[in-house]
Amino acid sequence: MGQEDLMNTAEDVADQFLRLTKHYLPHLARLCLISTFLEDGIRMWFQWNEQRDYIEATWSCGYFLATCFVLLNLIGQLGGCVLILSRNFVQYACFGLFGIIALQTVAYSILWDLKFLMRNLALGGGLLLLLAESRSEGKSMFAGVPSMGESSPKQYMQLGGRVLLVLMFMTLLHFDSNFFSILQNMVGTALIILVAIGFKTKLAALTLVVWLLAINVYFNAFWTVPAYKPMHDFLKYDFFQTTSVIGGLLLVVALGPGGVSMDEKKKEW
């Protein structure tokens, strides 16, 4: 079997998977995507005092402002999750969660930690895809903005979402000299480039979902660490952030790459 035959077989398998799951995949994608916000909102409730004291001590902002920060995170994240899952005011919910990401990036000094910053941007990419999915083709939030050719803002949101999702995988690259790490880096880099440019997008995104799911379960198994150990919270945070990026990739699989992609341009050739 040649390389082209192997690729065609893989695409057939991916198409068969999509046909079987087309009614469930978008719902699963949304659930995965909001999982990190859901977990963090619940954590704000159970670790209310710890979170408030941390913000108060770090920023010297006083008890009242620190309490407002925790309350805003709790209500903003849980409320946004409920709206997204119930398919009500999804655009407003997405903008609210964008605000939460920006607020936490500053409050927890994520801006200066490249790994966490790239993961937060990847999470933003997932929300951008969710925002694109919630838009109907006939409506536009940018109605007064001149359109660029035949492309709609939705298509540029899908492009931006795909590119930002790629940042998650850049944090997973290991610069070791052993064969497995080199192979993993080469395959992973090839797949993220395919997703970013929108070539063989559904197959590449589905492959990344499987790969990332395996890495997530293996490396971020927080349930194997006792809850009183700090590592439990670190692994739990990583696990749900990665799950959210998996949700973004599942949206790419379910909806396709959008108009600004090589897959779409191929149809015109």
User: For 97-142, what is each residue's pLDDT tens digit?
Assistant: 999 999 999 998 887 888 888 888 999 999 999 998 887 543 544 4
Position 37 in a domain: yes
| pLDDT of the residue at 51 | 93
User: How much is the mean pLDDT over the chain?
Assistant: 85
The model's pTM is: 0.84
185 versus 95: which is more confidently predicted? Answer: 95
| pLDDT of the residue at 182 | 81
Position 125 in a domain: yes
Position 62 in a domain: yes
| pLDDT of the residue at 175 | 66
User: Which residue segment(s) compose the domain that 225 sits in?
Assistant: 16-137+153-266
Considering the chain, what percentage of its residues have pLDDT values greater than 90? 41
Position 192 in a domain: yes
Q: Is 55 exposed, middle or buried (0-12, 13-18, 19+ CB in 10 A)?
A: buried
Query: Helix, strand, or coil here: 71?
Result: helix
Position 101 in a domain: yes
Per-residue pLDDT tens digits for 19-65: 888 788 989 999 999 999 999 999 999 999 999 999 999 999 999 99
Q: How far apart are CA 19 and CA 25, in angstroms?
A: 10
Q: How far apart are CA 131 and CA 142, in angstroms?
A: 13
The pair of structure tokens assigned to 42 is 């619940």
The count of domains in the chain is 1
Strands (E), the chain: none
Do residues 264 and 257 touch, judged by C-beta distance below 8 A? yes
Position 174 in a domain: yes
List phi, psi (to 5°) of 148.
-100, 100
Contacts of residue 171, Cβ cutoff 8 Å, sequence gap at least 6: 115, 118, 119
Q: Is the dihedral of CA 240, 165, 111, 56 positive or negative?
A: negative
| The most confident of 19-28, 84-93, 164-173, 253-262, by mean pLDDT | 84-93
Position 144 in a domain: no
